[in-house]
A and B are shown apart, each in its own frame.
Chain A
Amino acid sequence: MTHFLETVFQSVFWSAVIKVVFVFALLLLTALILVWFERRVVAFMQNRVGPNRAGPFGILQTLADGLKLLFKEGIRPRKVEVGLYLAAPIMAMIPAFLIFLMVPIGAPIHIGETTVTLQGADLNIALLFVLAMSSIAVYAIVLAGWASGSKYPLLGGIRATAQMISYEAAMGLALVPVVVFASSQIAGGSLGVGTMSFSRIVALQAGSFRGPVPGWFVFSLLPSFVIFFTAAIAETNRAPFDLVEAESEIVGGYHTEYSGFRFAIFFLAEYINMFNLSAIAVTLFFGGWLGPGADLPYVGWLVPIFWFLLKTYALLFLFVWIRATLPRLRYDQLMTLGWKWLIPLSLAWLVVFVLLQGVRVFGMPWS
């Protein structure tokens, strides 16, 4: 058995196929649970019960909704640009899948002589890849809005584009100190060759910050995390930044003209993106899958996955909590927050952090 598994994982093709199947299963399962999780948590925060009929605690509610949407008529209005209209949901989903591919969800597993990383692909530029993919996700939304040939989707699509590109700039800038810090952690802070690989960034957080406090980057880079998380909420178009689908103003936003399963795909992509960004925040700032208990016998390989999911769901809870608490911003407030606060703030934090880092490494300019 061990030998068979070893042979399988040594083959490039088959290990890729297994990873693809595994990641898809995990993502779809996560999306199903996440939708239910959000509805339940928001319900409790609003003193309601929430979905509790389908399955134990209503956990199968999303599956039931998905099946229902599968059987619903997909109405395609006469005025749509057919090609782009049909392509947009697919274009929304693929970047969401690809971003998750970068996230390490557990410690590498050793089967015989072969080591299997619990990560779709360990690119050395994972961080840039994630930023690039989240840029591509904007295309799906602007094209969906434009191809619908209708007023509300067009407004929603344009709004979404302006919002997402604004906060993406802040998000990218907030991540630069992470790269600088990670590079300085390598080789004890002297002439390090830096890294943007997620698996290495996780490994660098293994030590201890002070005493029993783990060496998670969030303790050194708290401003980066705050800016990143704020931008992440805006990137996923979640409340209080959900002007993209502000029902009271522009109906459903870019997916007004989508119905049936094509709508379900946009919906799933949004939730997968939410999970992705939480997972990336966990990887970069909260030590990823690191946690005690990874050396237990037999279940040792499951423990890191448990820690990863626990941390990710803690952040997702924060997402939901913010949604239940804060009212929607006005459009000018949204843009003011993005351009006049977050971007200058992230630039200032970058300058301060890098100067401190420079002083630490090179000494004072006059010494």
Chain B
Amino acid sequence: MTSYLQDYITVAVFAAAGFLLVAAAVGLSALLRPRNPSATKSQTYECGIDPVGSGFSQTHVRYYIFALLFLIFDVEAVFIFPWAVRLESLGGFALVEMAIFIAILLAGLVYAIRKGVLQWES
């Protein structure tokens, strides 16, 4: 077996072991700890008063815009990392091309800032 595959096997074994370890720790705690629920205890926390309304609420639309922007910058990393690894063998053409790509991205960020979507106080 190649060491390449071997490393991924280690990762898989490790993920499984991590899961088992945490599950076992929580399970052990469940065996050891007292269990004494009451109606008041199992209420949702709200600073001591009875909780008002539902705990599941809508989220402000700002967060949605942050998520969209993040998506762009994260997908961009997918392009940039392979390019960074092979930069010198790809040559000057790739360099110029990436400069254009980053310029477009920056233009997008500047547009978002100018539009005020990153503005928090109104």
Contact = CB atoms under 8 A, between A and B. Distances in A.
Given A70-B29, A79-B55, A165-B70, A93 B105 contact: no
Given A161-B63, A257-B44, A351-B99, A173 B25 contact: no
Nearest to A358: B95
Interface in A8-53: 12, 16-17, 19-20, 23-24
Given A344-B106, A347-B102, A154 B55 contact: yes
Contacts of B51: 150-151
A154 to B, nearest CB: 6
Contacts of A23: 14
B85 to A, nearest CB: 3
- Among B14, B21, B43, B105, chain A packs the most CB atoms within 10 A around the CB of B14
B79 to A, nearest CB: 10
A85 to B, nearest CB: 12
- Among B47, B99, B105, B120, chain A packs the most CB atoms within 10 A around the CB of B120
A260 B118 contact: no
Contact of A339 (B10, B34, B118): B118
Interface string A184-199: 1000011111111000
Interface string A303-344: 000000000000000000000000000011001100110011
Q: How large is the interface on A (under 10, 10 to 19, 20 to 34, 35 or more residues)?
A: 35 or more
Overall SS of chain B's interface: helix
A165 B67 contact: yes
B73 A90 contact: no
A113 interface: no
A24 B21 contact: yes
Interface residues of B, number: 71
B1 A12 contact: yes
B1 to A, nearest CB: 6
Contacts of A183: 84-88
Interface string B14-50: 1101110111011011101111110001111111000
A173 to B, nearest CB: 7
Interface in B57-75: 57, 59, 63, 66-67, 69-70, 73-74
Contact of A343 (B8, B36, B59, B73): B73
Contacts of A202: none
Interface stretch (A117-125, A232-240, A278-286): A117-125
B83 to A, nearest CB: 9
Contact of A75 (B4, B37, B87, B91): B37
- Among A148, A150, A344, chain B packs the most CB atoms within 10 A around the CB of A150
- Among B23, B56, B57, chain A packs the most CB atoms within 10 A around the CB of B56
A176 interface: yes
A209 B69 CA distance: 38
A146 B17 contact: no
A152 B10 CA distance: 38
Nearest to A262: B26
A350 B120 contact: no
Contacts of A251: 45, 47
A221 interface: no
18 contacts: A16-B6, A69-B29, A76-B37, A149-B55, A149-B56, A151-B46, A168-B70, A168-B74, A172-B74, A173-B80, A183-B85, A191-B89, A194-B87, A195-B85, A339-B113, A347-B102, A347-B106, A357-B87
Interface of B: 1, 3-4, 6-11, 13-15, 17-19, 21-23, 25-26, 28-30, 32-37, 41-47, 51, 54-57, 59, 63, 66-67, 69-70, 73-74, 77, 80-81, 84-89, 91-92, 95, 98-99, 102, 105-106, 109, 113, 118, 120-121
Task: Please give me the 7 A-B residue pairs with the lowest Cβ-Cβ distance, nearest first.
Answer: A332-B120, A194-B85, A261-B29, A169-B73, A121-B7, A149-B55, A179-B84
Given A69-B29, A335-B118, 20 more contacts: A16-B10, A71-B29, A71-B33, A74-B29, A98-B11, A150-B55, A151-B46, A161-B67, A165-B70, A172-B77, A173-B77, A173-B80, A192-B89, A194-B88, A261-B25, A261-B29, A336-B118, A339-B113, A358-B95, A362-B95
